[in-house]
Amino acid sequence: MILTLLLDLDDTLLNTNMDAFVPAYFQALAKHLGGRVRPEAMLPALMSGTQLMLASNDPSRTLQEVFEADFYPKLGVPKSELNDLIEDFYDNVFPSLGSVTKKRAGAVELVEWALAKGYRVAIATDPLFPRKATYHRIRWAGLEPERFDLISSFETFHFSKSHPAYFAEVLGRLGWPDGPVLMVGNDVERDLAPAQRLGLMTYHIDAESASRSGPEAGRRGNLHDLRSWLESADLPSLEPSFKTKEAILAIMASTPGVMKSLMSDLPQASWSDEPSSDDWAVIEVLCHLRDTETEVHQLQIKTLLEETRPFIPRPDAGVWAKQRKYLNEDGFAALRAFTSARIETLNRLNDLPDDSWKRPARHAIFGPTNFREVIGFMADHDRLHVQQAWNTIKSLQSSARI
């Protein structure tokens, strides 16, 4: 059984001391851009853009897009005029900020042990930094970025860690792996509570030993304690559950961004490649999600809300790939259409009172059910097809067809 281990970075694997690091970071960036940007404009622009990233729940825009749409207009300087300077900052100046941080005892040993065990290990850090900055911070911790299955950064992620959808996006980018999942972090509000709201088990990293008593005694301690705990843990007990309303909505919100990121890992010329005659190409998965959203899911929601004794049919959408010749579709247009339809679905679901989620219904396959369970089937459908797309991409990559 393979454990998926999601590791926070700052003050979990790396002693960062954000109260010292963030001012040093902002000051260094302001100084580096000083010849082109007014110093008094820099800090308000950085703070404003960061706050917008933290608040964003838009699955159609990466956090980078959210940040830059606010940051550069506030500076009064186009991105094109600053891009080279900013790249130079992250290449040559940002690394010096490592002196503000310290390696964390047990971090390297924990990661090496987890990788040797064959665990799937991801760096689940708040994706508010560019990829280059995050890679530097990982190296400051004594670790190599290339060894992790996933590292979140603002170029490809759509939600910050305050949203359960962030953790759904992490798992989606990992191909929605089956089996146990554990989120490890030091911040209850930003690392642990949102992960728990998705349905994940968590471990709280602090400076004290796990020998303490109390309700968190089993899943709280330092990095050495974490390894000891994992060595004796019942891994099946760490299987996540995605049955709550909040978890369902988080999964559904994450899917458009996950599909966009997965497809960006594949050359456009290979979007229509099928690993075998029994497999779907990535473009077929995407078009299936798009058409199912508009012709099945939205119709089911309408039926559930408008009929007194709703019966939920289940059309055979699996045949559409060949019938509708999805392989000939424009992938970018299909992604835009799916994202737009999913946002429409989410807007309707988010506006519903809690009582609506309890409405009874009868499903063509599953029999007696209710609104929450039917919407849960939609989230399960997302996870199934994201997993399918991820497997297709990995199969194509391993066969050296791309």
Backbone φ, ψ for residue 369 (5° rounding): -155, -165
Q: How far apart are CA 18 and CA 213, in angstroms?
A: 29
As to burial, measured by CB atoms within 10 angstroms (0-12 exposed, 13-18 middle, 19+ buried), residue 134 is buried
Please give the mean pLDDT across all residues of the chain.
Answer: 94
Is residue 254's pLDDT more than 90?
yes
Predicted local distance difference test score (pLDDT) of residue 35:
85
pLDDT greater at residue 309 or residue 92: 92
CATH 3.40.50.1000 is held by the domain 4-13+101-238: yes
The confidence score (pLDDT) of residue 290 equals 98
pLDDT score recorded for residue 400: 63
What residues does 15 pair with on adjacent strands? 102
Q: What percent of the chain has pLDDT over 90?
A: 86
Mean pLDDT of 175-180: 97
Q: What is the reported pLDDT for 211?
A: 46
The highest-level CATH class for domain 245-398 is mainly alpha
Strands of 120-123's sheet in order across: 150-151, 120-123, 4-7, 181-185, 201-205, 220-221
pLDDT at residue 39 is higher than 90 = no
CA distance 170 to 238: 17
What pLDDT does 395 receive?
92
Q: What is the enclosing helix (H) or strand (E) of 123?
A: strand 120-123
* Average of per-residue pLDDT across 87-101: 96
Query: What is each CA distance from 175 to 259, 265, 283, 344, in whole angstroms?
Result: 10, 13, 16, 25
CA separation for the pair 379, 249 (Å, rounded)? 8
Per-residue model confidence (pLDDT) at position 215: 43
pLDDT of residue 218: 62
- Rounded Cα gap, residues 107 and 361, in angstroms: 50
Whether residue 18 is predicted with pLDDT greater than 90 in this model: the reply is no
pLDDT of residue 90: 97
Task: Kindly indicate the confidence band of residue 163, based on its pLDDT and cuts at 50, 70 and 90.
Answer: very high
> What's the pLDDT tens digit per position in 180-237?
999 999 999 999 999 999 999 999 998 655 444 444 446 899 999 999 999 999 999 9
Strand 4-7 and strand 14-15: the pairing is unpaired
How confident is the model at residue 212, as a pLDDT?
A: 47
Q: Tell me if residue 90 falls in helix, strand or coil.
A: helix
| Confidence band for 9, pLDDT divided at 50, 70 and 90 | very high
Does the structure show a pLDDT above 90 at 16? yes
| pLDDT band of 309, cuts 50, 70, 90 | confident
Instruction: Identify the pLDDT of residue 267.
Output: 92
Report the alpha-carbon distance of residue 333 to residue 36 in Å, rounded: 38
CA-angle at 7, arms to 134 and 135, nearest 5°: 15
Report how far residue 241's alpha carbon sits from residue 278's, in angstroms, rounded to the nearest whole number.
Answer: 30
Say whether pLDDT at 248 is over 80.
yes
Provide, rounded to the nearest whole percent, the portion of the chain with pLDDT above 70. Answer: 96
What does the domain layout of the chain look like in residue ranges? 4-13+101-238, 17-100, 245-398
pLDDT at residue 206, as a whole number: 87
The answer on pLDDT for 3 being more than 60 is yes
